[in-house]
Amino acid sequence: MPSPLRLRPPRPDDEAACRAAHDALAAEGFEFLLVFDPDEPWARHVARVEAHRRGADLPDGFVASTFLLAEVDGQVVGRTSIRHELNEFLLTVGGHIGYAVLPEHRRRGHATEILRQSLVLTRALGIDRALVTCDEGNVASAAVIERCGGVLESVVDNPRGGPRRRRYWID
């Protein structure tokens, strides 16, 4: 049976759901929306997400990336960010794929499905070996990564501070 979870780009009508998701994860110290300015018009943010997918108008230290919302039955439950290449920071602690599930939608298999679908997309980009990382103490995320074939390579210090990071490679 196919999963009801779908990954898709953000749309103009996603503003309220995305702002609420961003606030919910900010309370946990995590960003839902990347390079987000709350004072900026939503349409400009959506346009920037598309530009970053094309590798245009990237801030310093950023690489081309695909940002997608995870939706189940019309409701945003999470997101993924797929980096098209790795710079030094991403190779050390960020990885090719960063994903999140909103607190009220956890423990339903959404994280595993988001990562599984993200891996399909990385392969479509020509990335045959994906790096996925998580905080050292994030047991749930480590289990998701391992369930999707992740093999732990190392645990490293985060050069920006914060928790150490578990680094997994998925072929």
Q: What is this structure's pTM? A: 0.94
Query: Which pLDDT score is estimated for 77?
Result: 97
pLDDT band at 30 (very low <50, low <70, confident <90, very high): confident
pLDDT band at 112 (very low <50, low <70, confident <90, very high): very high
Residue 161 scores a pLDDT above 90: no
**Taking the C-alpha atoms of 72, 73, 74 and 77 in order, what is their torsion angle to the nearest 10 degrees?**
-30
Query: Which pLDDT score is estimated for 8?
Result: 97
Query: Which pLDDT score is estimated for 96?
Result: 98
Mean pLDDT of 162-169: 94
DSSP assignment of 111-160 equals HHHHHHHHHHHHHHTT-SSEEEEEETT-HHHHHHHHHTT-EEEEEE--TT
Query: Measured between alpha carbons, how far is 78 from 105 in angstroms, rounded to an integer?
Result: 8
Query: Which pLDDT score is estimated for 34?
Result: 84
